[in-house]
Structure formats: C-alpha cells, structure tokens
Amino acid sequence: MPPSAARFGWCCQYVPPDGDAGLARRMNPGTVTIATLSRLNPARAEEKLTEVLRRNLQSLHLQLDEVARHPAYRRLLRVNSGLLPAYTHEVGRPLYRQPGVQALVRSGLEHVGRKAMAADIRIGLHPDQYCVLNSANPSTLDNAVAELEYHADILRMMGLTGGWHPRGAHVNIHGGGRGEGIAGFRRGYGLLSEDARDLLTVENDEMSFGLDDLLPLADSVPIVLDLHHHWVRTQGEYLRPDDPRIAVVAGSWRGVRPVAHISVSREDLLADWPADRLPDYTALAARGLTTRDLRAHSQRMWNHAVNRLVAEHLSWADFEVEAKAKNLAVDDLEQDALLSGAISAPASAGP
C-alpha cells in the first residue's frame, strides 16, 4: 500500500495547544458515577444521564471536526470508551431503555457516524485492561463480553458494523491473563456476537502476551502491533517493517489496512538521552531504570529516531499515538514523518 494511504491520530482526549481549560471541557467527554445515579430517583437519574450524554455526543462531534480539518493522513481517532456512561451496569441499563435516552443515543451516534464517514475518519475503540476475554472467572468473562458488545453497539449505531472491520473500524483489547492462554481467548471470542467478533482486534503487551505469543491468533483475530510494548517486552528489540512477523500481523487483517500503536518512554526519565538516537534498553536499565519506568508513556513523541521508525512502518499500517499529550504528540510525529518523506504535505489551496 502506498505511503499516501497512511494515517495516524490521537486517542480519546483533546489537549488544547494553548491550554484553554474551557475548550478542553467542551472537546472532551464527562461522566457520571454509578454511585451518583444510584442515589437519584429514576426521573432524576434519567435527567442526569441525559445531560452527560448530550455533552459527550457534542464533544465527539467537536473532536471529529478537529480531526477533519487536518490532512487525510491524520484522519484517525480513537473514541473514548466512556462515551455512554453506565451502559453495561445494572443501574444504567434501565435508563438506556427509556425512549428519550434511546432516541438521543441513536440519533446522536447516527449523526456522528455520518460525519466520520463523510470526512473518511477511521474510528477505533479500546476497552480498559479489565476487559479480559480469556478469564476463567465467569463473572469477569460475562463482564468482558458485555463490554465488547457495548463497544459494538456504539459502532453499530454509527453505521460501522456489518462485515469485517467496516472502514477499518475496530475494538481493541489485550490478550488477558496467562492462565487460560490463547485457548481461553478463543473460547471467549466464541461467546461474542458476529458484529463484535468482526470488530475485535488483539494487542501485544509487556507482561502476559508478547507479539510472538499472539501470532497463533492471526488466523481469526487481527493483531494490533504495539511497537513500544514489544520493545519493553523483549528488552530492546526494535521491529523493522521487513521482519517476517510483520507479514503475519498484516495478513491477520485480511485485506483491511492494519492499525498499530506507538508511544515512547517518558522524557523526564530519559532527559539526557539524545532525541536523535533510539533509546537503548540495556543502557537505560544499567542506569537503574526498571521495566515499570520504561513502559510508562511520555507526554510527547519527543524522540525523532522513534518517529522515523514509525514513518517506515507507515508503509503497511496506520498508527494510534498513545502519548499522554494526545494531539500535540501527533504533531511531533507528523513533523518527522514529513521530513522522512513517508507522508507528503497537502498541496496549497492557493491565494
């Protein structure tokens, strides 16, 4: 796939470049706790939830507007999983069955989906680490299935279900715990609806399932390669696009352009590390930095060498940038990708 097809983007929260707190509030979703909803009578609970949902749907519109104003290579957004608070909880489920709430959510997400598709914005979601599809605990497994069906519902209402990863849409999780392994993951996968199965992807991590551990799933579930997790897990290996495992990962997507993840170790811990050199795990560990230190994500994509490596991988995958400064970190990656020639600046519209 030519470099012009590449895209990358930010995850969940928008960070105003000028630090405008009001803009940050408008651009980002809010929430309501289960404890709060539990204390309210049904009418007031519905009113409170509706208030939060209106804010969240509006913030998602604003985020999509922000993404759409950038060049095509930045048309990617991970939607915040907290978009519909309490959706799977016993306190929230009756509220989402109320006609007014149903109408708000369905119409709001339908509109959001149309906007995303009109701007050709690739959409992803990422449940938290407590979504463990290979758990041996029945309650944990039930919760994981419910959580994945919730994410599938979001994409369904956006018009992004019906087939294998429509328009690249995906719901990404980690492999889970080591105890039940890949066999447990396959069992959990079989409990999902067809739409949820067709959206699911699985990502390597530093602790339980490295890339090599996940490759057996490539026959059924697309693999999301996280380059930073892999570097930590292997204590220093930087994957190159010509690594044979990349072909297996790309093949797992079955014709859909893959998604990968990138971040880098915290700049405050590597303050004296040259930004033009790839961080050296062995050298950093010798300084006393632990795996826990090195796995933590930076604020910005401060390391130009890591950014150039990502630029090489743009030949086969899109990237979600997981640095904490969100869209500001994407600015960093964009500059290095432009300098490397992996992407091209859009032509000027003229005077």
Residues 68-84 have pLDDT tens digits of 999 999 999 999 999 99
Q: What pLDDT, on a 0 to 100 scale, did the predictor assign at position 179? A: 87
Round to whole Å and give the CA distance between 244 and 143: 36
Round to whole Å and give the CA distance between 247 and 287: 35
Q: What pLDDT, on a 0 to 100 scale, did the predictor assign at position 349? A: 43
pLDDT greater than 80 at residue 208: yes
State mean pLDDT over 285-294: 97
pLDDT range class, residue 288, cuts 50, 70, 90: very high
Contacts of 150 (CB under 8 A, 6+ apart): 84, 87, 88
For the chain, the domains span: 7-29+74-84+121-340
Residues 240-277 have pLDDT tens digits of 999 999 999 999 999 999 999 999 999 999 999 999 99
Q: What pLDDT, on a 0 to 100 scale, did the predictor assign at position 160? A: 98
Q: What pLDDT, on a 0 to 100 scale, did the predictor assign at position 129? A: 87
Q: What pLDDT, on a 0 to 100 scale, did the predictor assign at position 1? A: 33
* Residue 297 contacts residue 324 (beta carbons within 8 Å): yes
Look up the CATH number of domain 7-29+74-84+121-340. Answer: 3.20.20.150
pLDDT range class, residue 348, cuts 50, 70, 90: low
pLDDT greater than 70 at residue 62: yes
Q: Quick one: which of 5, 9, 6 has its CA closest to 321?
A: 9
* Residue 270 contacts residue 284 (beta carbons within 8 Å): yes
State mean pLDDT over 113-125: 98
CA-CA-CA-CA torsion sign (261, 309, 301, 267): positive
Round to whole Å and give the CA distance between 120 and 142: 34
Residue 2: CB atoms within 10 Å: 6
How does DSSP classify residue 253? T
* Residue 213 contacts residue 229 (beta carbons within 8 Å): no
Round to whole Å and give the CA distance between 337 and 31: 36
Residues 170-194 have pLDDT tens digits of 999 999 999 899 999 999 999 999 9
Which run of H or of E encompasses 124? strand 122-125
Which of 5-9, 152-156, 175-179 tops mean pLDDT? 152-156
SS3 41: coil
The mean of the pLDDT values for the chain is 96
Residues 31-40 have pLDDT tens digits of 999 999 999 9
* pTM of the shown model: 0.95
Round to whole Å and give the CA distance between 328 and 325: 5
Give one DSSP letter per residue of 166-204, joined into a string: GGG-EEEEE---TTTHHHHHHHHHTTS-HHHHHHEEEE-
